[in-house]
Structure 1
Amino acid sequence: MDEIREFLVLEDEEGDRLDVYLSSQLGDMSRSYIQKIIKDKKVKVNGKEEKAKYLVKEDDKVIIEIPAPKLLEVLPQDIPIDIVYEDTDILIINKPQDMVVHPAPGNYENTLVNAIIYHCKDKLSSINGVIRPGIVHRIDKDTSGLLMIAKNNNSHNSLAEQLKDHSITREYEFICHGVVKEDKITVNKPIGRNPKDRLKMAVVPGGKNAVTHFEVVQRFENFTHMRARLETGRTHQIRVHALSINHPLLGDPVYGPKNNKFKTNGQTLHAKKLGFIHPSKNEYIEFDSELPNYFKDIINKLK
């Protein structure tokens, strides 16, 4: 069954293109797919069909009819995955850089979900539906590192509750621009949509509470190797908080400088440590993954 979503344009959203506005409201959908929905006349503004380039105005009522996801479009694919740990409840994956975690409308192939459906068959939680079976949390396409997958609904509920309580250990390592002077910094700044660019996140008054603990691992000339521990889990949290202290991540295509002499495939960010209470064994377990080659190569060059 198609899903009907309704939005009312706010004052600070006025002037966005219709496709850009809907992309910001529907974070999991590609802009090209939204453009297709608009072209298929499934979007109305104040009861009238408009083109993707239409500039939305305050108080515009936007209604979009999202085609129902088709089960057959998310197919198992024999894609190699780096399994760190597996039992009947959970699967811990070391995700490579440049791999999308779950399918989104218009992009149903070559994602981590396609790979885990192939590996796990029907042994995955169903809580997040067809598109995200087993997915409890996610990391960005260009971020590498550890990700937990729930193989049944009990595990999914347990892990989701721990995420909500901020009791899961999540440590990342990254390389940022500039030499960070302080050995340790805690950034406690709310994060929300960037009012000037709805496809970006930013530190904004009234945003969601976000806390990141930063620590220097090693300083280089013009760059610093850092560790970050997440207390909360907001979209792009590390990237936005690092930018807020004037140390954007190396290679970050959204929040970093345009010049990138290391030619990275996105931000140099790795989810290195993951720890939580096992859903059925009720004991704390922790996983640590080695820094990937792309990350180590950059450190060697900086040395």
Structure 2
Amino acid sequence: MDDEGDLIEIVLEASGARLDKALADAAPTLSRARLQALIAEGAVSLNGRPLTGGSAKAQAGSYAILIPPLASATPLPQAIPLAVLFEDADLIVVDKPAGMAAHPAPGTPDGTLVNALLHHCGASLSGIGGVARPGIVHRLDKDTSGVMVAAKSDRAHAGLSKLFAAHDIERTYTALTRGAPAPAIGRIETLIGRSSSDRKKMAVLKSGGRTAITDYVVQARYAVPAKSGAAPLAARVACTLHTGRTHQIRVHMASKGAPILGDATYGSGSPAVAVREAIAEAGLIRQALHASVLGFVHPVTGQALRFETDLPPDMARLASLLADL
């Protein structure tokens, strides 16, 4: 396959069937789903005219299908600046910015922490995580900022993986929430698994799923109404993880009626007008969640390590604006 991809030519003599089905029948190496994607990308044409919909009826004629070249499965080094908090021969700790994915995935082929680490660490990055995820032992959501550790040696990778599996890691996050969880100090212990209504989301389940435990402390309450017992419009909450389920803090805060501000997935309902205005003024375009603290025993040297970072500018600005409400 060359850099421009492969070209498949098909002549359909009959018409009437769905286009994607007719083409899939004529080109058995391509699935209907793959053909639908290619049509949506403008890679399928009839008599030289690009088509736009696979559900349309097929017409007799000469079809051309351009198959783009396969993207490399191996991430490439990229000179992306990193905020390095600690580094030795075995591991590296960084303050990941919001908007950076931990590793390449569908829709995010590059610009990830892995790409940056490959450039920064070179061949020393641990390969245990696989070709696409070298050095990665845990993840933060793309739009969650904060402290992450990555392994540079295989022995560090194995040791860190054991620590995370045993939950022998100190992990505290700072969240800015709509309203505030009650009581002000508490533990949330639930089962978390895939939502039955939306498989892309996680949810608190009555059965099935995996145990998820989060301790939380409300550190500040913003815009508290004068009415006795009324909930604040927003809050700053410290959340400490005792397990590491996907989207755990986001799901748990939402389950307490205090979803994280800016969370488009779990933030059902709209904040008060004053809070929305503060979000816009702060320039927050993601969930207001920051991994503030990461502490662990170095798996090779035995040194006790603990890292704590300040809120990034968007969350710090939002917290300041909320405090003035």
After TM superposition, the score normalised by the length of structure 1 is 0.76
Counterpart for residue 209 of structure 2: 207
In 1, Cα distance between equivalents of 2:214 and 2:54: 37
Displacement of 1:243 after TM fit? 0.8
Cα RMSD of the aligned pairs, angstroms, is 2.4
Structure 1 unaligned spans of 5+: 1-33, 41-50, 54-66
Q: How does 1:47-86 map to 2 (within 5 A)?
A: 70-72=72-74, 74-86=75-87
| Structure 1 segments of 4+ aligned residues over 6 angstroms from their partners | none
CA offsets per residue over residues 219-274 of structure 1, 9 Å max, x none? 11200100000000000000001111111000001000464441322110000000
Percent identity, aligned pairs only? 39
Q: Which amino acid aligns with 1:177?
A: R
In 1, Cα distance between equivalents of 2:136 and 2:240: 21
Displacement of 1:36 after TM fit? 4.7
Counterpart for residue 283 of structure 1: 303
Counterpart for residue 64 of structure 1: none
Counterpart for residue 297 of structure 1: 317
In 2, Cα distance between equivalents of 1:127 and 1:38: 36
* 8 Å Cα contact 1:35-1:52 kept in structure 2: no
Counterpart for residue 230 of structure 2: none
In 1, Cα distance between equivalents of 2:132 and 2:322: 40
* 8 Å Cα contact 1:139-1:147 kept in structure 2: yes
Counterpart for residue 130 of structure 2: 129
CA change 1:277–1:214 in 2 (3 A) is: same
Q: How does 1:189-228 map to 2 (within 5 A)?
A: 189-204=190-205, 205-221=207-223, 222-228=233-239
In 1, Cα distance between equivalents of 2:78 and 2:35: 27
Q: How many residues align?
A: 247
Q: Which amino acid aligns with 2:110?
A: E
Q: Secondary structure at the match of 2:264?
A: coil
* 8 Å Cα contact 2:176-2:235 kept in structure 1: yes
CA offsets per residue over residues 278-298 of structure 1, 9 Å max, x none? 011113211111111111100
In 1, Cα distance between equivalents of 2:33 and 2:249: 30
In 2, Cα distance between equivalents of 1:38 and 1:232: 40
Q: Secondary structure at the match of 2:94?
A: strand
Q: Secondary structure at the match of 1:130?
A: coil
Counterpart for residue 4 of structure 1: none
Q: Which amino acid aligns with 2:301?
A: K
* 8 Å Cα contact 2:214-2:242 kept in structure 1: yes
Q: Which amino acid aligns with 2:302?
A: N
* 8 Å Cα contact 1:113-1:132 kept in structure 2: yes
Q: Secondary structure at the match of 1:274?
A: strand
Counterpart for residue 255 of structure 1: 266
Displacement of 1:169 after TM fit? 0.4
After TM superposition, the score normalised by the length of structure 2 is 0.71
In 2, Cα distance between equivalents of 1:37 and 1:110: 28
Counterpart for residue 247 of structure 2: 236
In 2, Cα distance between equivalents of 1:239 and 1:69: 33
Counterpart for residue 164 of structure 1: 165
* 8 Å Cα contact 1:179-1:220 kept in structure 2: no
Q: Which amino acid aligns with 1:88?
A: A
Counterpart for residue 93 of structure 1: 94
CA change 1:123–1:170 in 2 (3 A) is: same
Displacement of 1:171 after TM fit? 0.4
